[in-house]
Amino acid sequence: GTTVADVASVGIDAECNILVPNVISPNSDPFNEFFAIKNLEKYPGSHLLIYNRWGNVLLDDPDYKNNWNGKDAPEGVYYFVLTVTDKKGTVVPGYFELLR
């Protein structure tokens, strides 16, 4: 009966990667119904702008909650600018396709 004790140190990366979808398909099935950005809940107050192909703003939400489904928007490519409320104020620009 020998007792041995040891200490282990485990590092955890506190950075939560933002993952933005490249397609949404709001067609009343349970898949890809919303423009849902993975890990966005870690950054409350993140600002999202969504533009159509002519540069018109369709959404300007200063505290986006993954709830835009493009219900009044036609199929096509849309552009976004996400400003994340992280320490750096990261700006994530990009585009996605809306399919019906």
* Full-model pTM: 0.81
pLDDT on residue 58: 97
pLDDT on residue 36: 97
The residue-averaged pLDDT of 26-33 equals 89
pLDDT on residue 9: 41
Q: Residue 12 belongs to what H/E stretch?
A: none
What mean pLDDT, rounded, does the chain reach?
88
The residue-averaged pLDDT of 57-72 equals 95
Task: Find all residues with CB under 8 Å of 78, minimum gap 6, and list them.
Answer: 50, 51, 52, 53, 58, 70, 95, 96, 97, 98
Phi, psi of 77 (to 5 degrees): -95, 135
